[in-house]
Chains A and B, each alone.
Chain A
Amino acid sequence: MTSADARPFRVLVTKIGLDGHDRGSRIVAAYLRDAGMEVIYTPPWQTISGVVKLAMEEDVDIIGVSSLATDHLIVPKMMTALREEGLDHVRVVVGGIVPDEEKDVLLSAGVSRIFGPGAARDEIVDFVAALGRQSRSDRIDEFSEVNS
């Protein structure tokens, strides 16, 4: 399994819903790429089913959803869709503008963390890398269970 761990983490950076402000997602994608991760970047306006399909096809460890308007409101539905497809190991982070009173809904739906404006580059990169390790180790566990 160590050979699998050596692969760079694969991160899907995307925007779902209706808003197209992509300055943040482009910058974060560049940060993660420069930190050595493999970034799959999509334009804005993805559908939930499209993102889930892409996550599966691209075999990603982490999904980063950028939300500058109100698209974070449908992230819980994306979490459900991921679980329904058996992608429990995929970690999800949200970046952008999420009003305080709407954060709990996302976190209790399984979002690992919400990065707001001002989040430092290193903080984002380190956290995403840690999530990547968790995601990989989950999959090793699943693999062991299947083969035991």
Chain B
Amino acid sequence: MTQMAVQLPLPGFEQAQGEWRSQYSRQVREERPIRNRSGIEIQPLYSQRDWSGERYLDDLGFPGQFPYTRGIYPSMHRGRTWTQRQLIGLGTPEDYNKRVRRIIDAGATAISLLPCCSGFRGIDCDEVDPVLLGTCGTVINTTDHMDRALDGVPVGEISTAMNDPSPFTLLAFTLGVARRRGVDWSRVTGTSNQSDYLSHFIANHQFFRLSLPGSRRVLLDHIEFCRRHVPNWNPVSVVGQHMQQAGATPAETMGFTLSTAIQYAEDCIARGMDIDDVLRRFTFFFDISISFFEEIAKFRAGRRIWARIARDRLGAKDPACWRFKFHGQTSGVDLTRQQPLNNIARVSIQAMTGILSGLQSLHTDAYDEAIACPSEETARVAVATQNILREEARLCDVIDPLGGSYYVEWLTDQMEAEIESVIAKIDAAGGMYTAAEVGLVQTMIGESALSFQEQVDSGERKIVGVNCYLIDEDSTVPPADRPDPDAMLRHVERFKAFKRERSQEQVARALDALARAANSTNENTFEKVVEAVEVGVTHGEVIGCLRRELGFGHPLIVA
């Protein structure tokens, strides 16, 4: 909770402060109130009256100690640097393989996989206008495709984050690949990114696949299966990123995200799962905007609130469950099409923000991200940005280096209060599932997005190259990288041949088993997905089956 300003006996403090205030007013005669993106009014100076440190042990503690405001591990980045996890995904599985192997050769210890938008949309490559295929991610529809994408990649040694919304076919393909290669599933590590169906439904982002109740069921099946059979996999990544990209303020984003995590945790408890077993595998994924201090306060407050929620509200006893592990991505919304090289500066600031916030894993955007999927050269600059911040700027030398700043601690308290009021609003609406179902969250995000845009349009919020410091447009953007159309057509033809040649009987049996599991209350749908892809059932067929049985998802449009 926000603490009251404490009046410590400091002889002469009031007088000195009064003198400063009158000097300040002489220099700055008229001043409009300054507010951060979350609407908190920012004063020109903070001092001991705003944060005295009296509640240090309750509100901050030491790194690795409850409530983890200063970091979730005792040694933080000094002990182990964050994971550099760049998103990749383009073209055919072979295209992906080429790029991912270069990244591994360059020393990456973790990889990511972004599927083609057709996959997000829930359909296979033979159902899509070929000109769109592979332009935003890799076309992976079968276990064979995954095998080719991960050719020479040591599954079981390298952590894989896959953008893999329900029903988690990419993980199913990966488990199939692991089995083919004799890798035990307990060695498969990584995260089901985008497993947060509520954030997708709310921020209307990328796809609609299954109905809300269907998605809820399938996620729980997935969590349960992974806890039993893939113990080192993180089945849940609660995503704030979509909502902030869609326009939610940083405080709203953190509030919505924590409310979503509460929803999933309570759903797991209702299903009879052991909260201490499940919660340790929850991870979070956020946007890092350029609002420097606000973002740092957002993450510090988020860690503190989550620790208290996990322990006190959800009843988890194991400290591993209280730790707020998060991946950050520098915000693409802050990047501009205008004067694109300026984005290198923006990404550096955002990355610095995330690092000073104590993140566990980071993706830095390439400077052409506002125009197209990054080229290899621009992606290299993005990775170098992280290395420069670590090696040259030496941001890892001290843990939570902004802790104890009057401003940062005051703002952390303010953001905490703001975030808690958002959580209270969602609680009052009946929880995140219901709040999404009735459109409450969508309305709040839409209002914030419009209000932000109005501030940009009116010039109140300045963006260099957009509404100030304009120059005649330069042409420093490399041309968009599009996949080779012939290779893509060959990929689609090969896929069609594969579908013709597989055992249709096995496919029909597997899809029937999946449909029956969906209609039963005690069978696990994800287990059936894993079995189905082993006999050649495709991504689109899995989703098609579950859509028929569990209902089709429609986005809710809120004015």
Report chain B residues within 8 Å CB of A45. 121, 207-208
Instruction: List residues of chain A with CB within 8 A of the CB of B204.
Output: 20, 22, 43-44
A81 contacts chain B at the CB level, 8 A cutoff: no
1/0 per residue B126-166: CB within 8 Å of A? 00110110011000000000000000000000000000000
Find out whether the CB atom of A74 lies under 8 angstroms from the CB atom of B449: no
Q: Which residue of A lies closest to B136 (CB)?
A: A69
Please tell me if the beta carbons of B557 and A99 are within 8 angstroms of each other in the complex: no
Known contacts A19-B206, A69-B117, A77-B129; is-contact A97 B136 (Cβ 8 Å): no
B-chain residues with CB within 8 Å of residue A70 when the two chains form the complex: 132, 135-136, 482
Residue of B nearest to A97 (CB): B371
Say yes or no: is B372 at the interface (Cβ < 8 Å to chain A): yes
Q: Are B457 and A120 in contact (CB under 8 A)?
A: yes
Stretch at the interface among B167-175, B288-296, B472-480, B528-536: B472-480
Chain A positions within 8 Å of B446 at CB level: 26
Which residues from 1 to 29 on chain A have a C-beta closer than 8 Å to any C-beta of chain B?
17-23, 26-27
User: A101 contacts which of B206, B449, B480 (Cβ < 8 Å)?
Assistant: B480
Q: Is A83 an interface residue (CB 8 A)?
A: no
Q: How far is the CA of A124 from the CA of B104 in the complex (A)?
A: 46
Q: Do A18 and B337 have beta carbons less than 8 Å apart?
A: no
Give A44 to B203 CA distance when docked, in angstroms. 12
Residues in chain B near residue A77, CB distance under 8 A:
129
Residue of A nearest to B556 (CB): A43
Given A23-B247, A73-B132, A97-B370: A44 in contact with B555 (beta carbons within 8 A): yes
| Residues of chain B in range 444-458 having any CB-CB distance to chain A below 8 Å | 446, 449-450, 453, 457
The residue on A at minimum CB distance from B479 is A101
C-alpha gap A26/B555 in the complex (Å): 13
If A30-B450, A118-B337 touch, whether A74 touches B132 (CB-CB below 8 Å) is yes
Q: How far is the CA of A21 from the CA of B449 in the complex (A)?
A: 13
Q: Which residues of B contact A26 (CB under 8 A)?
A: 446, 449-450
Q: Are A121 and B457 in contact (CB under 8 A)?
A: yes
B190-209 at interface with A (beta carbon < 8 Å): 204-208
Please tell me if B120 contacts chain A, counting CB pairs below 8 Å. yes
Q: How far is the CA of A74 from the CA of B131 in the complex (A)?
A: 8
Q: Is there a chain A Cβ closer than 8 Å to B245's Cβ?
A: yes
- Contact partners of B449 in chain A: CB under 8 A: 23, 26-27
Contact A74 B246 (CB under 8 A): no
A116 at the interface (CB under 8 A from B): yes
Task: For A22, list chain B residues within 8 Å (CB).
Answer: 204, 246
Across the interface, do A117 and B336 meet the contact criterion of CB distance under 8 Å?
yes
Total interface residues in chain B, CB < 8 Å: 42
Max chain B C-beta neighbours (<10 A), residue from A21, A100, A116: A21
Min C-beta distance of B120 to chain A, whole Å: 7
Complex Cα spacing A100 to B338, Å: 12
Question: Which residue of chain B has the shortest Cβ distance to A28 in the bound complex?
Answer: B453
Asked if B136 and A117 make an inter-chain contact with CB atoms under 8 angstroms apart, the answer reads: no
Chain A 116-132 near chain B by CB (<8 Å), digits 1 or 0:
11101100000000000
In B424-457, which residues have CB < 8 Å from any A CB?
A: 446, 449-450, 453, 457
Q: With A74-B129, A101-B479 known to touch, is A27 a contact of B450 (CB < 8 Å)?
A: yes
Question: Does any Cβ of A come within 8 Å of B189's Cβ?
Answer: no
Which of chain A's residues has its CB closest to B135's CB? A70
Q: With A18-B132, A44-B204 known to touch, is A99 a contact of B372 (CB < 8 Å)?
A: yes
A39 closest partner in B (C-beta): B559
Interface of B, secondary structure class, is loop
CA distance A69 to B121 in the complex (A): 14
Give the residues in chain A near B554, CB-CB below 8 Å.
Answer: 43
- Does chain A have a CB within 8 A of B118? yes
Q: In the bound complex, how far is the Cα of B480 from the Cα of A44, in angstroms?
A: 23
A-contact bits for B530-554, CB 8 A (1 contact / 0 none): 0000000000000000000000001
Would you call B466 an interface residue if the criterion is a C-beta within 8 Å of the partner chain's C-beta atoms?
yes
For B206, the chain A residues whose CB sits under 8 A away are: 19-21
Smallest CB-CB separation from A121: which chain B residue? B457
Cα A71 to Cα B131 with chains together (Å)? 9
A102 at interface by CB-CB < 8 Å = yes
Q: Are A18 and B128 in contact (CB under 8 A)?
A: yes
Min Cβ gap A86→B in Å is 23
- In the complex, A30 Cα to B226 Cα: how many Å? 43
Query: In whole angstroms, what is the CA distance A45 to B123 when docked?
Result: 12
User: What are the residues of chain A within 8 A of B467 when measuring CB–CB?
Assistant: 118
Contact code string A84-117 (vs B, CB < 8 Å = 1, else 0): 0000000000000101111000000000000011
Chain A 30-42, CB-CB to B under 8 Å as 1, else 0, gives 1000000000010
Please pick, from A21, A23, A69, A121, the residue contacting B135 in the complex, using a CB distance under 8 A: A69
Measured between alpha carbons, how far is A101 from B487 in the docked complex, in Å?
22
Query: How far apart sit A49 and B346, CA to CA, in the bound complex (Å)?
Result: 41
Per the bound structure, the CA–CA distance linking A61 and B455 in Å amounts to 30
- Nearest chain B CB to A95 CB, angstrom units: 12
What's the minimum C-beta distance from B492 to chain A, rounded to whole angstroms?
15
Q: How far is the CB of A136 from chain B (nearest CB, A)?
A: 26
A71 to B117 Cα, complex, angstroms = 10
Contact across chains for A19 and B129 when beta carbons are under 8 A apart: no
Note all chain A residues with C-beta closer than 8 A to B336: 117-118
Min distance, Cβ A30 to any Cβ of chain B, angstroms: 6
Q: In the complex, how many angstroms separate the beta carbon of A41 from the nearest chain B beta carbon?
A: 7
Beyond A22-B204, A97-B337, A99-B372, is A43–B557 a contact (Cβ under 8 Å)?
yes
Q: List 28 A-B contacts (CB under 8 A).
A: A17-B132, A18-B121, A18-B132, A20-B206, A20-B207, A21-B206, A22-B204, A22-B246, A23-B246, A26-B449, A30-B450, A43-B208, A45-B207, A45-B208, A70-B132, A74-B132, A97-B370, A99-B372, A99-B477, A99-B480, A100-B477, A101-B480, A117-B337, A118-B336, A118-B337, A118-B466, A120-B457, A121-B457
Residues in A lying within 8 Å of B, measured CB to CB: 17-23, 26-27, 30, 41, 43-45, 69-71, 73-74, 77, 97, 99-102, 116-118, 120-121
5 tightest Cβ-Cβ pairs between the two chains A and B: A18-B117, A70-B135, A99-B480, A117-B337, A43-B555
